[in-house]
Amino acid sequence: MGNSTHLTHFILSAYFDSRLVKYIFVMILMTLYVLMLVSNVLLIVVICVNRSLHEPMYLFLCSLFVNELFGSTGIFPSLLIRILRGIHTVSTSLCFLQIYCIYSYVIVEFFTLSVMSYDRYFAICHPLQYNTHMSRKRISVIIIVPWFYGFLYVSVMISIMSSLHICENINKASCDNYPIVNLACSDTTTVNIYGLTIAFITVSFPTFLVLYSYMRILKVCFSGSKQTRHKAVSTCTPHLASLINFSFGCLFEIITSRFNINHVPNILRVFLSLYFLIIQPLFNPLMYGLNISNIRICCRKLLFGGEAKFTIF
């Protein structure tokens, strides 16, 4: 970029010059993106139109699937176009829009998964009070708050970042907050303080909620009946698998953004940096669709027919 005082575009240098590699990579990404769209849209439709799935756990899942569509669509269409056309530059506004989508997606995903752990804790440990405690109004607030918080946090971060002057290229396939701030040739004190403070709040509260919920679930499992343990395992296994997978994806993103991994092959660096936007939106529909019998049955009825009571949610 040079020492420009007016930022108009970024140069993303993590691309492929070989035509063969480029087209193979595009085909793989295109296939994965179509699978993301089909699987997540299918489960959203199934949950929304089927009366038997209008329960807290499935509504949280619906929010999770919508968020995964939002996150993946925020980056993959433009990424595929740039790779195919060999364009290494991206405008400032589009770059900040990508950051907005990615960071909002991460925050909503993490908060929703943490809330789902609390929902499972209450369903397993306090089954008699569950329906009263998890009222429709409370569920609506719990679903909306992560989206509002994510959009507000990222909006403030983008407004602070927009005043920075960037002096070098970004060695990634997509825009990211940390490389931009790290490569800035102007004072980054404000954005660093804001980022660290909000990051601590964003990570600490959901982590505490997840740990608290699963400690209580384990306590009930050890002292409860065999039926209680079976219910806990069957309902918590998909959630734990999703949470672990998402945590690994975020870890890969942190490694590719904050550490020098130039010795790693370029295609592997790109995959690791996009892991949580590729695998998570594919993993969740597969995990929940196969492991939760109610969703599996409703999907089969919707796709292949059968007796089912549908209603618009």
Count of the separate structural domains present in the chain: 1
CATH code: domain of residue 93: 1.20.1070.10
User: How much is the pLDDT for 166?
Assistant: 65
Q: How many whole angstroms separate alpha carbon 178 and alpha carbon 166?
A: 12
Please check the confidence at residue 307 and state whether its pLDDT lies above 60: no
- 57, 102 Cβ separation under 8 angstroms: no
Q: How many whole angstroms separate alpha carbon 48 and alpha carbon 54?
A: 7
CB burial of residue 70 (10 Å; 0-12, 13-18, 19+): middle
Q: What confidence tier does 64 reach under pLDDT thresholds 50, 70, 90?
A: very high
Q: For residue 266, how many other CB atoms are within 10 A of its CB?
A: 17
20 inside domain: yes
4 inside domain: no
Please check the confidence at residue 65 and state whether its pLDDT lies above 80: yes
Query: Which residues, in sequence order, are CB contacts of 106 under 8 Å at separation 6+?
Result: 71, 150, 250, 276
pLDDT in tens, 255-283: 777 766 667 676 777 777 778 888 889 88
**Which domain range does residue 154 map to?**
9-304
Mean pLDDT rounded to a whole number for the chain: 79
Question: What amino acid occupies position 124?
Answer: I
In the numeric block, which tokens belong to residue 108?
A: 């909503």
User: How much is the pLDDT for 306?
Assistant: 57
pLDDT in tens, 129-141: 888 888 888 888 9
Please check the confidence at residue 2 and state whether its pLDDT lies above 60: no
Closest CA to 294 of 29, 11, 47, 6: 47
310 inside domain: no
Q: Is 309 helix (H, G, I), strand (E, B) or coil?
A: coil
Query: Which residues, in sequence order, are CB contacts of 284 under 8 Å at separation 6+?
Result: 40, 64, 65, 68, 242
Q: What confidence tier does 159 reach under pLDDT thresholds 50, 70, 90?
A: confident
169 inside domain: yes
Average pLDDT of 56-72? 90
- For residue 9, what is the enclosing H or E element? strand 9-11
DSSP 10: E
Query: Which residues, in sequence order, are CB contacts of 234 under 8 Å at separation 6+?
Result: 291
39 inside domain: yes
Compute the chain's Rg from CA coordinates. 21
Q: How many whole angstroms separate alpha carbon 252 and alpha carbon 248?
A: 6
Average pLDDT of 136-164? 85
Report the range of poorest mean pLDDT among 14-23, 90-99, 175-184: 14-23
223 inside domain: yes
In the numeric block, which tokens belong to residue 298?
A: 């409703």
Q: Highest mean pLDDT: which of 18-32, 35-49, 245-259, 268-282? A: 35-49
Average pLDDT of 117-122? 88
3 inside domain: no
Average pLDDT of 185-191? 74
- 282, 35 Cβ separation under 8 angstroms: yes
Judged by phi (left if over 0) then psi (alpha if -120 to 50, else beta), residue 86 lies in left
Closest CA to 284 of 48, 116, 80: 116
Closest CA to 292 of 41, 57, 11, 21: 57
1 inside domain: no
